[in-house]
Amino acid sequence: MIRKVKPISFKLLLIIIISASLFLLLELTMIILTDRKILSDYKPLIINYLAKKNSDNGDWRLFHIFQEENYEVDEKLFWAPKKNSHFYNEDRFITRLSDRKEDNKRKITIITYGDSNTQGNEKISWALELGKELERKFDNIKVDILNAGVAGYSSYQGVNRLKDDLKKFRPQIIIFSFGWNDAAFAAGPVDKYYQLQNSLLENKLLNLHTYSVIKYHINKAGEKFQDERTKVNIPRVPSDEYQENLNLFIDIAADDGFYPVLLTRPFMNSDTLNRQFFDQIQKNNEAVLKISEHRSALAIDIRKEFGNNPGLFIDQSHFTNEGHKQAAKFIAGKLAEDRNISKLFL
């Protein structure tokens, strides 16, 4: 005797339909209320420093992970350049390689780590210009530049990439230029505790206005009770962790016999931009100078050299083409003046 399978009960079906209808109604309500600015919602893809009232609404990490066409998801670094894509080669460097015909000259390899200002644009970067400047100063050397600048990167990501790169590459000089994205507000855990799997799930959930509104107000209500692993609206890399990353960079480079070089992060002051953010960048720059005094690392204060010169910046954080050229000249000059590093060029 064949037992008949009971169809879904009418009550269960009714519950499903009513629940779905109520959720759709709630979602529609949230869309209307957020569009009319009656309720605030969580916006992880937007940092709008031009409007002070929105400066605490999110960060760029999810944008770089999911929206940048030239990057891909990376478990350690959150996002990384695609191999052989855009500026980047097979090893995810932007390169400026010396003339291989000049075998009689000493080859110097320099790796530069930094954010979008180090990455540069399609035409120019201070990192690649640095190779040209050093070859102009010293006839007996040829310089290979491996530029590891990546838009959105913090010192946390820079140090972690450095660890992997040094398994394959043996540069004489390593330059570390961060501080901008480190100071950016974290709409969620700081970089040290950021979990990519949570981001993958949340990226889906954030398509729902209901979830975005609930998350925003939970974050606001719970800020006083959150620890560093979950706290929002603090720097992606807090001051103590930024200093840890600088020291770790020096340790890794020096232990392998390379010369570590720290740069302060240049930027343009502006009354229209978030004061807390720029104060944090200045704290990061002060940390660079202080740590260099106690460690065997050259610090180059490009922030002080450039100041607020509008001819060198296209915005508050990125160089003009002339800015890239002047930065390369300044850095090359400081490298040449350093008692230890200059021996490489003689």
Where exactly are the structural domains of the chain?
61-187+234-345
Which of 125, 162, 337, 152 shows the shortest CA–CA distance to 248?
162
Window from 37-41, 122-126, 233-237, 316-320 with minimum mean pLDDT: 37-41
Read off the pTM.
0.77
pLDDT tens-place string over residues 204-220: 676 787 887 887 777 66
pLDDT tens-place string over residues 58-69: 467 877 877 778
How far apart, in whole angstroms, are the C-alpha atoms of residue 40 and residue 166? 45
Window from 49-53, 178-182, 318-322 with minimum mean pLDDT: 49-53
pLDDT tens-place string over residues 221-265: 665 555 544 555 689 999 999 999 999 999 999 998 999 999 999
Find tokens 């800020």 and name the residue: 223
Which string of b and e fits 269-302 if b means at least 16 CB within 10 Å?
eeeebbeebbebbbbbbebbeebbeebebbbbbb
CA quadruple 323, 55, 154, 340: dihedral, nearest 10: 50
How far apart, in whole angstroms, are the C-alpha atoms of residue 158 and residue 160? 5
pLDDT band at 45 (very low <50, low <70, confident <90, very high): very low
Q: How far is CA 47 from CA 41, 83, 217, 260, 277, in A?
A: 13, 28, 18, 32, 11
The CATH H-level (homologous superfamily) assignment of domain 61-187+234-345 is SGNH hydrolase (3.40.50.1110)
Give the mean model confidence (pLDDT) for residues 76-95.
Answer: 93
Q: How far is CA 14 from CA 8, 22, 97, 342, in A?
A: 10, 12, 69, 79
Which of 268, 264, 296 shows the shortest CA–CA distance to 176?
264
Backbone angles phi, psi at 274, to 5 degrees: -60, 120
Other CB atoms within 10 A of residue 338 CB: 15
How far apart, in whole angstroms, are the C-alpha atoms of residue 223 and residue 233? 9
115 CB contacts (<8 Å, ≥6 apart)?
149, 150, 151, 152, 153, 154, 177, 178, 180, 181
